[in-house]
Structure 1
């Protein structure tokens, strides 16, 4: 094993590392040819449904297989920054080599593999697909492609993600949430820059999607918000609206519910809103029943809203 800077998390044996990685939100198969001498470390932090990881490890590979996807689908993207070492990423029929400073994005609901031949350091931001206002078919052009971190937007986001992965555990819940969301916004900006102006400004599908998502965000307070109302506001049929979101791998109701939950989470961790009750926050964001809100919140985030407020 080559020398590495001391990771912030405890070093793990291969068995412990494999368990930690394969249970970090998305199930993965993990392999190494050096299981006797392998050492790895995994730092993980979560704010709502955005996850940030810092990974230090020796030679190994991870695989998201069709079987794992079928058993546990996850509507997430992973954005990775290679800080040290080299590796390969394979998805959607593409295989690229990554070295220090390179970045890549990949879809957790399609098979992928990451392969590292030696000691490596990687920072990862994992977030729900619905947080990006880019059509899935458009974004599919960038999965498993090299995103340059040496210039432009890439040179700005790389240091931010790297420092976030190292310091996330020390942030309070409100700051972590804001900084994690900033990271996702920066990823979206980087992806749009790599798609080019033609893909982001002249794509009618993408323009419609962004308009619909903006409309949803502006009307989350309305408990009666429905596909029919959204379709009418954009002069399209309900069938067309459903087709737009079906192509994203989701539904209109799922997006409305997720964005309501995201907004409630933001309010619950905001010290400036500590005077508002959980029920008040839920009702202000379109939920009509506090018990239903609590069940839905827990199912989505894994914890009840009272724990988020207390944290």
Structure 2
């Protein structure tokens, strides 16, 4: 599992909760002045995932105002950006004459060297929830003077690189059990690449990105495109290259550093989706052929042959076993 710490105010006495929360936020981000109308018995939860020099922290809390003042900046400045992504609730942001309101799935940038105030809250009695990212300024491949233009500028987390970032983060925080601590820096590099690509695209500064960052981000875009189009039997390296305005030879070069070729990866993803559907009791009335066709296999014999090679059993036998015994098959019969 990744390096992770968890904090919950419910583990503390009511009178101590808000003070400990203030200390916790100050250590995670930077010293802040915090206020909440619920301070007498504050409800908050936070996880912090260490991804090398990058930290990702999903959080849930009651309404909160936090201020980064000139005095606090003089006292301590970690020289980092904080990326805020509300998932439920709204951030009301102000700094000098700048005012902005950013809602759910809008990505915002805060600078530890800049004074600002944010009020975070959800509607009614709901708790605000979101994901924060702490990243050293030196890691981003965008000039500092351009980064200043992003303050209080909400960027969509529902399309483009913003959607890729949110999708990656939500998948990561939902289940970290399959990762080792040594995976942290690699995952941190993905976060840096996606943030750099999002900011550069927003600022029309794509040329500022190093070639390796552009290549890694293109691979992520291609992977996301494939996941959305696995149902299409016409999904091939040729159509993928055309959709991304690159040559087939360049597409194959991009995947040279990956574990599988493009075609092999498409097939493995289709097989895994089909395997999950075959094991799903809610789909027990669906025919094997319909499930195979749903994931782009038009020929039953091709699907059966590929499934047996991947999982050690033909689809019908696998389904019978999975529905009768809701426990995983031995690893020897599962795709590694």
- TM-score, scaled relative to structure 1: 0.58
> What's the Cα RMSD here?
2.4
Q: Is the 8 A contact 2:51 2:187 kept in 1?
A: no
* 2:31 corresponds to 1:33: no
**Which of 72, 75, 84 is matched with 1:71 structurally?**
75
Q: Is the 8 A contact 1:21 1:42 kept in 2?
A: no
Give the distance between the partners of 2:60 and 2:178, measured in 1 at CA.
19
**Which of 142, 145, 151 is matched with 1:137 structurally?**
145
TM-superposed CA distance for 1:164, in Å, is 2.9
Cα 1:170/1:41, change in 2 over 3 Å: farther
- Partner in structure 1 of residue 61 of structure 2: 57
**Which of 68, 76, 100 is matched with 2:104 structurally?**
100
The answer for unaligned runs of 5 or more in structure 1 is 1-7, 212-311
Give the distance between the partners of 1:88 and 1:95, measured in 2 at CA.
8
**Which of 7, 10, 32 is matched with 2:8 structurally?**
10
**1:122-201 equivalence runs, <5 A:** 122-167=130-175, 171-196=179-204, 199-201=205-207
Q: Is the 8 A contact 2:9 2:42 kept in 1?
A: no
- Partner in structure 2 of residue 282 of structure 1: none
- Partner in structure 2 of residue 309 of structure 1: none
Give the distance between the partners of 1:75 and 1:169, measured in 2 at CA.
31
Give the distance between the partners of 2:177 and 2:8, measured in 1 at CA.
14
Q: Is the 8 A contact 1:92 1:144 kept in 2?
A: no
TM-superposed CA distance for 1:82, in Å, is 0.9
Q: Is the 8 A contact 2:197 2:206 kept in 1?
A: no
Cα 1:96/1:162, change in 2 over 3 Å: farther
The answer for unaligned runs of 5 or more in structure 2 is 1-5, 11-16, 212-336
Cα 1:161/1:90, change in 2 over 3 Å: farther
* Per-residue CA distance 1:161-208 (angstroms, 9 max, x = gap): 233344458732221211122111101111111112xx444xxxx59x
- Give the greater-gyration-radius structure (CA): 2
Cα 1:21/1:168, change in 2 over 3 Å: farther
Secondary structure of 1:192's counterpart equals: helix
TM-superposed CA distance for 1:45, in Å, is 2.2
Q: Which runs of 4+ in 1 moved over 6 A?
A: none
Give the distance between the partners of 1:180 and 1:26, measured in 2 at CA.
20
Q: Is the 8 A contact 1:168 1:176 kept in 2?
A: no
Give the distance between the partners of 2:179 and 2:21, measured in 1 at CA.
24
Q: Is the 8 A contact 1:90 1:113 kept in 2?
A: yes
Give the distance between the partners of 2:26 and 2:88, measured in 1 at CA.
22
- Partner in structure 1 of residue 226 of structure 2: none
**How many pairs does the alignment contain?**
197
TM-superposed CA distance for 1:29, in Å, is 1.4
- TM-score, scaled relative to structure 2: 0.54
